[in-house]
A and B are shown apart, each in its own frame.
Chain A
């Protein structure tokens, strides 16, 4: 049979052979089975288990010791680092999100014209994002150290350190994150900018709008879907920050940079070894994240209407 036959006779031929619907469905399931197995065994099941663990006494080594609700949640909220870690995580999230979105958009505007030079620039902004977060954190761990850093003489002269005060540690870590992720957000912004039709700019120019006016009244409003997506991504990522602080600051100085996820790890595997409380914290984080994202999407949507 001719492979290049027009589509309608082909469809008719298919129908002529009429595979029974049930057989198609069965085949579909067959191909989807590996996905289903992975999603159920490694996602749905753990999700149910974490709910169970959150209401059970569950020491790391001894395992399930029966229901004790709501002790784990009480212990989680009463943990001496709980409030501090929540406050710090929120502070870090706001800082990182504002900087990354502003810088991502700025870089995108800088390189959106197509030229060889800009292609080169885009690649150099994007290279750090190919590195793992752990590798990037290790790199900056050396870069920030007062011994091995190329900035050591400057640090000594100015009496500055990168990680020795809570504020410095926060700023230094944020710098690392901006370095690692700015290119990623730049690409997302570029995609958004590309979606704005050129004639809108043309019209703005004909009306005699200045650059700033065009940016405020044309670019920003039309970029809203992209801004919504990037904000959600950035807030989610920052609220779940772990590696950068675990490697760079180890939560210090004086436990001033312990994030919520670090607290979960701390409770579960370092010292306390209480998986029940860690699970309760995880559930709190999950619920908070879903709420925060729902609120953000709602805010962006209501602004639109």
Chain B
């Protein structure tokens, strides 16, 4: 599915069709005239500056994190002093990166596994309790985060998972299930039944059919689910805030947040900027690489409401 767009008529399209000045653009229309360009320039300036408002904070942070600034570890000239501060903060940024990576990868793996099997079950099988279980899974969306985290804190302590990254990953996986199960279910439903039935007639077990035949067919759905699970887990703040209280086991967002106001109450803004860059970088790279899957996730939710 490509990026949402509509090339047909726009509401009251009194404006001329988009005319491009650059010759390299493939879509040229009759509006390529001096008047056309003059007419469109304010539009480009306006929309371009709106776009810049959205990009500016990110660009500024990236630049500021390596630029000289009083009260940080990077006072003279440009360099990576702020990143050095970050690297040596408490257990060190590598520790927190590893913690975050562990939580994220475990969450992604569990979410993919559970929603892959669950989506298959909901799409292809009829069994007692199917609808109840599906509705119950979607109901997770209705319940506030905090409402669940308070009892989860007690429950995880009971089973010895207090202060544990595995516990955090389990909780984050649960919060991913409504979206993941829903998306995998519609992904499986979009695959013609004949495909797996044929495989089973050929003597495959339902599991072999799922693994060999259906897995490739629902791969786009899995990528979307994995991407969203990663972004959610990597960025989550509240679950580790409540469930983790050992500085050794904090995840990166928590560590960067705690970094402020550690040095005798004076906030090291430079190190915070560096932390934001480290936090944001994987998300932005993934976003740029998987933009189509990202849009797809939003849209499947919106379409089915």
Q: Is B223 an interface residue (CB 8 A)?
A: no
Interface contact B137-A131, CB-CB below 8 Å: no
Provide 8 A-B residue pairs closer than 8 Å at the C-beta atoms, listed in order of the A residue: A34-B117, A119-B3, A125-B54, A138-B276, A139-B276, A191-B299, A212-B12, A264-B150
Residue of B nearest to A37 (CB): B114
Which residues of chain B have C-beta atoms less than 8 A from A5's C-beta?
A: 198
List residues of A (174-229) whose CB comes within 8 Å of B's CBs: 179, 182-184, 187-188, 190-194, 198, 201-202, 204-205, 209-215, 218-219, 225-226, 228-229
Interface contact A127-B257, CB-CB below 8 Å: no
Choice from B4, B125, B128, B181 contacting A187 with Cβ under 8 Å: B4
Q: A11-B197, A215-B11 are in contact. Are A1 and B202 (CB under 8 A)?
A: yes
Which residues of chain A have C-beta atoms less than 8 A from B155's C-beta?
A: 45-46, 49
List residues of A (137-173) whose CB comes within 8 Å of B's CBs: 138-143, 145, 147-148, 150
Interface contact B44-A193, CB-CB below 8 Å: no
Q: A39-B140, A120-B51 are in contact. Are A285 and B257 (CB under 8 A)?
A: no
Q: Is B179 an interface residue (CB 8 A)?
A: no
| Number of residues on chain B facing chain A (CB within 8 A) | 113
Interface contact A278-B150, CB-CB below 8 Å: yes
Choice from A14, A39, A49 contacting B197 with Cβ under 8 Å: A14
Beyond A132-B253, A133-B235, A194-B6, 10 additional contacts (C-beta under 8 Å) are: A45-B151, A49-B154, A117-B18, A118-B5, A119-B3, A131-B279, A131-B284, A134-B236, A179-B53, A268-B153
List residues of B (286-300) whose CB comes within 8 Å of A's CBs: 286-288, 291, 294-295, 298-299
How many angstroms from the CA of A278 to the CA of B144 in the assembled complex?
A: 13
Interface contact B235-A131, CB-CB below 8 Å: yes
Interface contact A31-B121, CB-CB below 8 Å: yes
The DSSP consensus for interface residues of chain A is helix
Which residues of chain A have C-beta atoms less than 8 A from B6's C-beta?
A: 112-114, 193-194, 198
How many angstroms from the CA of A285 to the CA of B177 in the assembled complex?
A: 22
How many angstroms from the CA of A140 to the CA of B48 in the assembled complex?
A: 22
Residue interface mask B77-115, A partner, CB < 8 A = 1:
000000000000000000000000000000000000111
Q: Is B267 an interface residue (CB 8 A)?
A: yes
| Number of residues on chain A facing chain B (CB within 8 A) | 121
Q: A32-B117, A201-B11, A264-B146 are in contact. Are A46 and B152 (CB under 8 A)?
A: yes
Which residues of chain B have C-beta atoms less than 8 A from A264's C-beta?
A: 146, 150
Choice from A47, A184, A268 contacting B148 with Cβ under 8 Å: A47
How many angstroms from the CA of A226 to the CA of B305 in the assembled complex?
A: 8
How many angstroms from the CA of A282 to the CA of B280 in the assembled complex?
A: 31
Choice from A43, A135, A215 contacting B253 with Cβ under 8 Å: A135
Interface contact B146-A283, CB-CB below 8 Å: no
Which residues of chain A have C-beta atoms less than 8 A from B299's C-beta?
A: 187, 191
Residue interface mask A20-51, B partner, CB < 8 A = 1:
00001111111111111011001111110110
Residue of A nearest to B194 (CB): A7
Residue of B nearest to A149 (CB): B269
Residue interface mask A240-252, B partner, CB < 8 A = 1:
1011001100000
How many angstroms from the CA of A182 to the CA of B57 in the assembled complex?
A: 15
How many angstroms from the CA of A116 to the CA of B44 in the assembled complex?
A: 12
Q: Is A75 an interface residue (CB 8 A)?
A: no
Which residues of chain B have C-beta atoms less than 8 A from A194's C-beta?
A: 4-6
**Of residues B133, B177, B194, B298, which shows the largest number of chain A Cβ atoms within 10 Å of its Cβ?**
B298
Which residues of chain A have C-beta atoms less than 8 A from B291's C-beta?
A: 123, 126
Interface contact A35-B242, CB-CB below 8 Å: no
Interface contact A211-B25, CB-CB below 8 Å: no
Residue interface mask B171-205, A partner, CB < 8 A = 1:
10110010001000000000000100111111000
Interface contact B279-A3, CB-CB below 8 Å: no
Which residues of chain A have C-beta atoms less than 8 A from B113's C-beta?
A: 34
Q: Is A124 an interface residue (CB 8 A)?
A: yes
Q: How far is the CB of A72 from the nearest CB of chain B, in Å? A: 12
Which residues of chain B have C-beta atoms less than 8 A from A214's C-beta?
A: 11-12
How many angstroms from the CA of A141 to the CA of B126 in the assembled complex?
A: 51
How many angstroms from the CA of A159 to the CA of B115 in the assembled complex?
A: 53
Which residues of chain A have C-beta atoms less than 8 A from B57's C-beta?
A: 128, 139-140, 143, 179
CB-based closest 3 A-B pairs: A132-B235, A28-B125, A114-B5
Choice from A27, A188, A213, A268 contacting B125 with Cβ under 8 Å: A27
Q: Is A279 an interface residue (CB 8 A)?
A: yes
Q: Is B264 an interface residue (CB 8 A)?
A: no
Q: Is A110 an interface residue (CB 8 A)?
A: yes
